[in-house]
Amino acid sequence: MVQSINTKSELVMEGTAFMGMPVYGKIMIGDKGFEFFNEKNVHDFYQIPWDEVNWVIASVIFRGKWIPRFAIKTKKNGTYTFAAKDAKKVLRAIREHIPAERIVKSLTFWQVVKRAFTRKK
């Protein structure tokens, strides 16, 4: 069984981790970090301490009415992408531990296309 890094749980919600194939489980926001646990396979989990989080990137659609997924970019281990049943609630809980200036919106589809054509070679 996996030991949690948190001593106090602030929010637990159903979620999905996108690391290759989608994995369904529980997202837990606590006092020490962000955790994702797969209920069916106890060896499939992600634990990210708050001091390891560099950026939180939210995919915002319809001017903020819907946030389908968000990513956590760490200082050493890369980017982890998750979806939650209520992503706004998860991001509000994360904002209690990560400064608001380090929680950003991802680029839109058209911004990515524009960047591809305007980039200097």
User: Chain centroid to CA 100: how far?
Assistant: 14
pTM value? Answer: 0.85
Distance CA 39, CA 48 (A): 18
Q: 9-119: what CATH class?
A: mainly beta
Condensed to tens digits (0 to 9), the pLDDT of residues 31-67 reads: 999 999 998 888 889 999 999 999 999 988 877 678 8
What is the Rg, in whole angstroms, of the alpha carbon atoms belonging to the chain?
A: 15
Distance CA 68, CA 39 (A): 22
Mean pLDDT of the chain: 89
- Domain boundaries along the sequence of the chain: 9-119
DSSP 66-99: EEEEEEEEESSS-EEEEEETTHHHHHHHHHTTS-
Q: How confident is the model at residue 1 (pLDDT cuts 50, 70, 90)?
A: low
